[in-house]
Amino acid sequence: MSWLAPLSLAQLGALLAAAFGLLAWLHLRTPRPQRTRVAFLDAWDEVAPQRAGRPAKWALTKSWPLLRAIAIVTLIGVALVDPKPSWLASPARTTLLVLDAGAHMRATDEKPSRFERARELASGLLEQQAAGDRVMVAQLDSTVTALSGWSETRERVQLQAAVGAARVSHEATRFEALSRFAREQLRGKPGAEVLLVSDGAFEIAPSELKALRDAGVELRQLKVGQSTDNLAIRAFAVRAYPWGGERCEALVELENTGPRPRDVELALFEEGRPIDVRPFRLEASSRVRKLLEFGATGARFSARISAKAGVADAQPLDDEAYAVLAQAPPRRVLLVTEGQRYLESALALDRRLLVEKQAPGAYRSAQGYDLVIFDRFVPSEPPGVATLWLAPSEAAPGTLAPYRVLGSIDRPFFDEARSDEPLLRSVSLRDVNIRRAQRAQLEPNDEVLARSKLGPLIVKGLRAGVPFIALTFDVRESDLVLRTGWPILVSQLVRELTAAGSAALDVPLQLGRLQSRDVTASGEVSAKLRAPSGKTTDLDVRGQRVQLTPEEPGFYELRSTGSLQLMAANVGSDAPATIEPREWAPAPAPDRPLRRSWHSRGAAWSLLFGALLVLALEVWRSSRGWKR
C-alpha cells in the first residue's frame, strides 16, 4: 500500500494544482450547451415545463461536470493526505524505529534471516503508524546509522525506502550506542519511544535502560528469532613451526551456544583441499580451544565446523573461518657475548634469524637490529631495540640494566612458572638446577614469568617503551641448556621480542571494520584488492598503507607492484557467538501503534469510497444515456 502513502502538504498542493489545472483545461474543452434556434419553443415547454428557479438549477446543472470532477479530485486528494479526524486521532508520538543490524541478525532460524524478518516487521510498523506521528528509521550495530531524517508518517514512501536501505553488518550490536543516540534525538520530544526490531542477542547494562527511562524515552522491542543453537569457530590461526619444515599448527577455538551437547566435526582445508577432519564433542554453552598439528605447504587455510547430521545450526556466518600462513620476514639479531655455545646453537635452529655475534668490547650500538641479546653484559647506552638479557652483570646503580641487583640467590629452583604463558609453552622447568641467580628488584609493571621462592628467574617488561625479557641467572651455571626445552624457550623468547611470533600469526581482517594494511612497495599510489568473490577494487595508498573494509569472509589479495599480500577475513572477534533471542523491553502495545490499518485510515478510506461512489453514479448515469 505504499502508493497510498500519505502525501505532504507540498505534494498535495502540487497534485491538486495539477489536477485542477487539468480539470479547468478539460472543462474549457467540454462542449457548451448548444445554442439552437427552434421554430416553436412552446412545443418544448409542453413536454419539459420550466419550473420556478429553473435558471439557478440550470446553472448548477451546467456546472455539474466541473463540480463533479472537482469533488472527485478533492476527495481523492484529501484521502491521500490521510486526514486524521479528531475522534480517530491519538496524541502524536516521536518514534525512533531501529533495525538491529548486528552480525547475530544473520541467523537463519527466521526465513530468510532474522534481519530480513526484522525488515518486514519494520515495514509493517510503518504502514500501521498513526498519522501525525514523526518517525526516524535507523540501524544499529556497533554504532547507530540514521537511515532517514525525522519524517511525518505521511511521508511513508521515504520511510519505507529507508527501511529498504538497511544492511546487516558483521559487527556486534552495542546497545550503548543506541541508548546515547536515542537520548540525543528524543529528549524533550512528545511521546518519545524507541521501537527496536531485534533478536536481543546482546547485552544491555541496566544503567543504559535507566538512562533511557530517565530521558523520558520508552523502549519497545519487537522480537525476532527463535533458536539458540549455534556452533561457531571463534578463533582460527595457523602458524608454521618455529624451526621450519612443513609442519604447521592451527589454533582453533570452538563454541557451542546451544543448550545441548553437540557432536561436531572440524574440517581443515588447505587451498580449498581438505587436509584434516576431526570429531569433537562440545558441551552445552561451552567454548573449547584446540591446537592441531599438520603438514602443509600452502598459505590459505580454512576451517569449517559442522554438526553431525540432524542438528541445525541457526547461524552459518561463524561456521567457517579463514587464516593465512604468514611468511615471517628474517630478523636481525645481535648477540653480544664472550661466547655462549648453547645459546648460539639454539639461535641457529631458527632459520628466520640472522644472528651476528659481537664481543662486549666491540659493542657500539644495536641500531639496525631487531633484537639484541646481552649475555652478562650491560651497555653504557640504551640499545633502543628489544633486548634479551642473560644475567645482566652486577652493575652499579644508575647503569642501564633492566633491574637492580640486590644480591644473589643460591641454588634456586623454578618453584612457580605460569602455565598459561605462551613463552613457556612446551618447556618443562621442573627440576632445573641453577647454581646461583641474581636477586632482582623489579619495577611495578614488570611481569614475572617464572620464579623461585626467593626471587624472579624470568622477567618480562618494558623499559623506555622497549620490551625486554631477562633471565636473572647465567645459563652456563644451570643445566637448563642441557634440557630439550632450552632451544624451544630461546626460540619463543626471541620470537616474542622480535615480534616474529605475531608476524608468524597472520592477523585476519575483521568483516565490516575499516582497517589498515601495509603495502610493502614504496612509492605506490594505488593497490588492487581482490575480494573472495573475485571483485577487484582499487585502493589508494597513503603512507605505504591502504584502508579497506572487507564485506565478505574469505581470502583477500592485496596486489601492488611486485608484491602480493594475502589476507584472511573473518567475523570480528568481538561479535558474540550467542544468538539467543532475548526480550529487553515489552512489545509495542496492541492498540498503539499496531492499530488496524483500516482504523488508522478510516477517513482516507471513507473519502476514497465517496469518490468512487460519485464516479459510479456518473457511470450509471452515462450508461443510461448510451442505452437509449
> DSSP label at 550?
-
Residue 52 lies near other proteins (rule: CB under 8 A): no
Could you say which DSSP state residue 3 is in? G
Stretch that binds other proteins, among 4-12, 44-52, 218-226, 493-501 (CB under 8 A): 44-52
Cβ proximity to other proteins, 35 vs 273, nearer residue: 35
Shortest Å distance, C-beta 68 to other proteins = 14
CA dihedral 124, 126, 130, 131 (to 10 degrees): -140
**Rounded least distance, CB 41 to other proteins, Å:** 4
Q: What is the rounded CA–CA span in Å between residue 74 and residue 53?
A: 29
**Of 53-61, 76-84, 219-227, 444-452, which part binds other proteins (CB under 8 A)?**
53-61
Half-sphere CA count of 481, side-chain side, radius 13 A? 16
**Using CB under 8 A, which residues numbered 93 to 122 contact other proteins?**
none
**Does 55 sit near other proteins (CB under 8 A)?**
yes
14 binds other proteins (CB under 8 A): no
Q: Which of residues 606-625 bind other proteins (CB under 8 A)?
A: 625
Confirm if 85 and 99 have CB atoms less than 8 A apart.
no
d(CA 85, CA 79): 12
DSSP string, 184-226: HHHTT-TTEEEEEEE---S---HHHHHHHHHTT-EEEEEE---
Q: Which amino acid is at 435?
A: R
List 9, 62, 85, 549, residue binding other proteins (CB under 8 A) = 62
DSSP string, 412-432: ----EE-TT-GGGTT---TT-
DSSP codes of every residue in 325-378: B--PPPEEEEEE-S--HHHHHHHHH-TTEEEEEE-GGG----TT-SEEEEES--
User: Residue count at the site for other proteins (CB under 8 A)?
Assistant: 26
The residue type of 134 is R
Confirm if 99 and 139 have CB atoms less than 8 A apart: yes
**Contact stretch for other proteins (CB under 8 A) within 34-42, 267-275, 549-557, 606-614:** 34-42
| CA 72 – CA 221 distance, rounded (Å) | 42
Q: According to the binding rule CB under 8 A, does residue 71 interact with other proteins?
A: no
User: By CB under 8 A, is residue 56 in contact with other proteins?
Assistant: no
Is residue 46 a contact point for other proteins (CB under 8 A)? yes
From 37-45, 87-95, 211-219, 289-297, give the range in contact with other proteins by CB under 8 A: 37-45
DSSP-derived 3-state class of residue 485: helix
- Quote the least distance from Cβ 617 to other proteins, whole Å: 16
Q: Which of 40, 87, 598, 620 binds other proteins (CB under 8 A)?
A: 40
Smallest gap from residue 61 Cβ to other proteins (A): 6
24, 54, 522, 573: which one binds other proteins (CB under 8 A): 54
- Find the binding residues for other proteins in span 378-417 (CB under 8 A): none
- Rounded distance, CA 440 to CA 447, Å? 12
C-alpha cell, 118: 526484522
Hey, which residues does 136 pair with through a beta bridge? 96
**CA atoms of 354 and 375, how far apart (whole Å):** 17
Closest distance between other proteins and the C-beta of residue 34, in Å? 5
In the list 1, 28, 29, 35, the residue contacting other proteins (rule: CB under 8 A) is 35
Range in contact with other proteins (rule: CB under 8 A) among 56-64, 85-93, 514-522, 556-564: 56-64
CB of 622 to other proteins, least distance (A): 12
Q: Which of 38, 52, 291, 464 binds other proteins (CB under 8 A)?
A: 38
Query: Cell triple for residue 40?
Result: 416553436
C-alpha closest to that of 327 among 371, 303, 297: 297
Q: Which stretch binds other proteins (CB under 8 A): 26-34, 106-114, 230-238, 599-607?
A: 26-34
Is position 523 an interface residue for other proteins (rule: CB under 8 A)? Answer: no
Q: Which residues bind other proteins (CB under 8 A)?
A: 31-48, 50, 54-55, 58, 61-62, 625, 628
